[in-house]
Amino acid sequence: MPDTIITREKTADIPDLSTLPQDGGSEFNRLVFTSSPYLLQHARNPVDWYPWGNEAFDRALHEDKPVFLSIGYSTCHWCHVMEHESFEDISVATLLNEHYIAIKVDREERPDIDHIYMTVCQAMTGSGGWPLSVFLTPDKLPFFAGTYYPREDRHGRPGFIRILKALHDAWKNERHRVTSIGTELRDRLRAASARNAGALPADMVQLAVRAFTHSYDSVFGGFGNAPKFPMGHTLSFLLRRAHAANDDNLLAICEHTLRRMYDGGIWDHLGGGFCRYSTDRRWLVPHFEKMLYNNALLLMTYAEAWAVTRNVRYEQVCRGIAAYVREYMTDASGVFFSAENADSEGEEGRFYVFTRQEFRSVVGSRYAPMLCEYFGVEEAGNFEHGTNILHIAVDRNEWEQRHGLTPELADSILAAALSALKDARAKRVHPSLDDKILTSWNGLMIAGLAMAGRILRDDEMLQSAVRAADTLLGHMITHDRRLLHRLRGNDAGISGFLEDYTFLIWGLIELHQATLELRYLEQAVMLAEHMLLSFEDDDSRALRFSARDGEALIADTIDLHDGAIPSGNGAAAYVLVRLARITGRVEFEQRAEDILKSAASSISAYPTGSAVFLMALDLMEGESVDLVLSGGQIGEFLSVLDSTWNPRMHVLHRPEGEEAERLARIAPFTAALVPKDGKTTAYVCRNFACDQPVMTAAELRASLAL
């Protein structure tokens, strides 16, 4: 939690709800009764918004009106633009209220709804994005879709008013055409969700590596052209392959990308943390919103990069992400908020940028020229309105030589400048905070903090992961062992989606590996068992986006491709393989194989969108090492592992007594792995078969070939 008071961009002031009528009254609409920060931002719009639910669709059916569905999220810049231009405008609101039933959805609260209608938008227009604007029949069938629309026609783009009038006319006069479009799209969605089991090529991992290498940007790092997303899970897969295959070229691709991202404006050089993506090829101009999931995935990636290379810069990035999350994104109970906005005081990025004059006045005249050079601060600016995005614009060694600086003096000058700039920036109005707690994203951050804490031997990171996990396990699991998706204040709700289960299981596995506390492994196994029962698709044996007993939408969806976050099925395959190796329960690996077979055609067609599937496949195909430490005093054995990193290795601690019995219930093979002669004993197991036990650290080091 921050030590100083932060002045944040003002968000919606909510009155005493008990004083308001059911429709929100004259000042508010129905969104005032919701918990989503995004929906609450629209609670004072003159649009008669409804949250998603039966009430809105029943009214649409009763009044024979189409539905306007607007999907976005609280830190979305263009969502704010469309709100200011259209949803706050009386004439637009009058059109909407007269001819449509308007529904607002927070995509982060309801990723299931977003997933379906984003697929529709991409099918109809060839692209997607947010705000997502979809027009539906009262039975939820889409017939028109797009993203942001200006209020009036602009630059060849139809205005929102024109669209509202045209679609109202079509609804009244071409009803058959409208409904036939919706029926066809629904049928296409349902057909697309059907999966037939297939086989992956024997060299799928190598084919995928070649696909990534082919799309690699050798100049600026990353993959493809602008916009560029810092896909942590992609880089983690490639790092693991580079390490396993001793592939220096692949490692160089990863390191070049990691360095360019850190040097760029996408990294906050003052406050830590990565922005969501770069709008340009160079990683210079970010979309300034900061997302929890993004930083969680990158925390894991940079921790793994440090483990492979011992490059101190990667350690600094890890500590910078952890410090940022601790200072700005952590609730008093230890769980993590969702995001910080891109905008403040009406401008995107205003909080983050400096004019050259502002920069010089903060850092002082003595070192200002060399610091302007270092951070790429230009008189004309490198961003909008003559402002500058700070980034590392020079080669550090060349810069030191040019100015006659020793590394120690350079460190001192840079540290003083960064501290002064951060203090100056702290006086500004901070972007608004989306303070809802999502189980899925928290699971990823728990995984990141636990992994980085273990690799870097950082107890503060580990304790942050422990606090968050304990809070989630205490508040987000129901009496019948179901996960909930969202917590805000005391309001926990929305049935968990596949990503909630897979990402929290991922976090619990990493936390177990970092602490060796059995309770985290027990919870991971329990959640995995429930996930397999609740989300299995009967036809394909892949896992559905939503649970079987969840809300029925126009189609069931199966999530197979990674986007900014890993796909639910990819993450499921990955955590199930890991649980199989840790517990010895082959049924988990068999289910992972089923999921991979169901996704085979998708992985083969789009390997660069399947990184976490590929991590699962790589783990299955390579030799796994499972180390069981049996007995009480295990410190000497753990010290052997400090000098190595093996993502295919898992460690179990089998103490004596009741906990050994608990462990045997979820990992039956451990029952026979008892201490020899009353001394702590290490059992090294490879691919479900254990070697002879070893009794000393030296023997363990030899057994692991370290």
C-alpha span between 225 and 280 (Å, rounded): 8
Q: How far is CA 395 from CA 251, 258, 259, 398, in A?
A: 20, 15, 11, 5
Provide the pLDDT confidence category of residue 2 given band limits of 50, 70 and 90. Answer: very low
Q: 38, 42, 105: which is closest to 75 by C-alpha?
A: 38
Please state, rounded to an integer, the average pLDDT across all residues of the chain.
94
Cβ partners under 8 Å of residue 359, min gap 6: 368, 371, 372, 375, 377, 388, 421
pLDDT at 41 (0 to 100): 95
% of residues, the chain, pLDDT over 90: 87
Residue 668 pLDDT greater than 90, yes or no: yes
- Report which DSSP code applies to 431: P
% of residues, the chain, pLDDT over 70: 99
DSSP characters over 241-281: HHHHHT-HHHHHHHHHHHHHHHHSTTB-TTT--B-SEESST
pLDDT at 11 (0 to 100): 62
**What torsion do the CA atoms of 543, 547, 552, 553 make, to the nearest 10 degrees?**
-50
For 194: left if phi > 0, alpha if psi spans -120 to 50, otherwise beta; the answer is beta
C-alpha span between 297 and 279 (Å, rounded): 20
Instruction: Check: CB of residue 107 under 8 Å from CB of residue 546.
Output: no
Q: What would the pLDDT profile of 557-581 be if each residue is shown by its tens digit? A: 899 999 999 999 999 999 999 999 9
Of 394-408, 436-450, 511-525, 683-697, where does mean pLDDT reach its minimum? 683-697
pLDDT at 534 (0 to 100): 96
Q: What would the pLDDT profile of 79-93 be if each residue is shown by its tens digit? A: 999 999 999 999 999
Number of neighbours of residue 474 by Cβ within 10 angstroms: 9
Residue 305: strand pairing partners: none
Provide the pLDDT confidence category of residue 4 given band limits of 50, 70 and 90. Answer: low
Return the biggest CA–CA distance within the chain. Answer: 87
Looking at per-residue pLDDT, the higher value among 633 and 570 belongs to: 570
C-alpha span between 144 and 101 (Å, rounded): 15
pLDDT at 5 (0 to 100): 66
pLDDT at 1 (0 to 100): 41
Structure tokens at 91: 């004439």
Residue 678 pLDDT greater than 50, yes or no: yes
Average pLDDT over residues 394-406: 96
Answer positive or negative: Cα dihedral of 504, 510, 515, 519: positive
Whole-model pTM over 0.75: yes
Q: What would the pLDDT profile of 155-190 be if each residue is shown by its tens digit? A: 788 999 999 999 999 999 999 999 999 999 999 888
Packing angle of the helix pair 160-173, 175-193 (nearest 10 deg): 100
